[in-house]
Structure 1
Amino acid sequence: MSVHSSALIGTWILESYTLSGSDGSVRHPLGSDPVGIGIYTADGYVSAQLMRRERGAPDRDRRDYIAYAGRWTTREGTVSHHVRLALHDDWIDTDLVRTVTLSDDRLVLEPPSTELNGVTFRSRLTWSRSS
């Protein structure tokens, strides 16, 4: 599916973030009720902040919070986030490529699948357009 870049412009609110395993398992990396905001600007910048709603003790490590910003581009059904700054150091100066499904005011982003201990996991982040 080809996504016209202007369709992504705006502010998006995270509805869900799931990891589905080839073994039938379903995980929620930021809990069952995560919060997040993603912003795509008309001049090509992206900013994303996602977190576990119930974060617990203030000294928790960075697994409960995702934050990055940079430029974005679209190509052949994908959006690439060209990360310039990030909470996670290993994301800086990388491209986070996501498959895009856009329908009305709902956006689904799916990063490439990953494998862990012989199980393939597919991430799915579902967003709704902010009113």
Structure 2
Amino acid sequence: MSAESIDVPGLGHGGMPIPTGCRVGPLLVSGGIGGTDPATGVMPADGPDQVLGIFENVRRFLKAAGATEADVAKMTFFVVDRSLREHINTSWVEMFPDEGRRPARHTLVAQLAAPMVVQCEVLAYVEDGSR
């Protein structure tokens, strides 16, 4: 199996030669996904708006990779302030309403490049038939 880069318009890494994510067989992994508005390239100043943008960008990444929310095994969030967890929780429950089918999640405090205050990574398992 060879790696397949997943590029999503508007979710670049500042001109760096880094794809949005990568798929190797059924394993799908993202790089850091922020809340940047893909249409404007602007990062919202407000943390809660960044969280909303992240969840929308995760959906875009999954779709580009031939995956859905049901394929997500784990999401890791990096926040500059733990108070953002309440906003993550709101979007989390909206994306994964069935508490018996939610993926694993981990939240870490991290230093992020301003104005970013939250970022996430996604790990998914995509059956061949999902593509």
Greater relative contact order, per chain length (Cα 8 Å cut-off, separation 6+): 2
More helix by share: 2
Fold-level similarity (TM above 0.5): no
More strand by share: 1
**So what's the TM-score if we normalise by structure 2?**
0.30
**So what's the TM-score if we normalise by structure 1?**
0.30
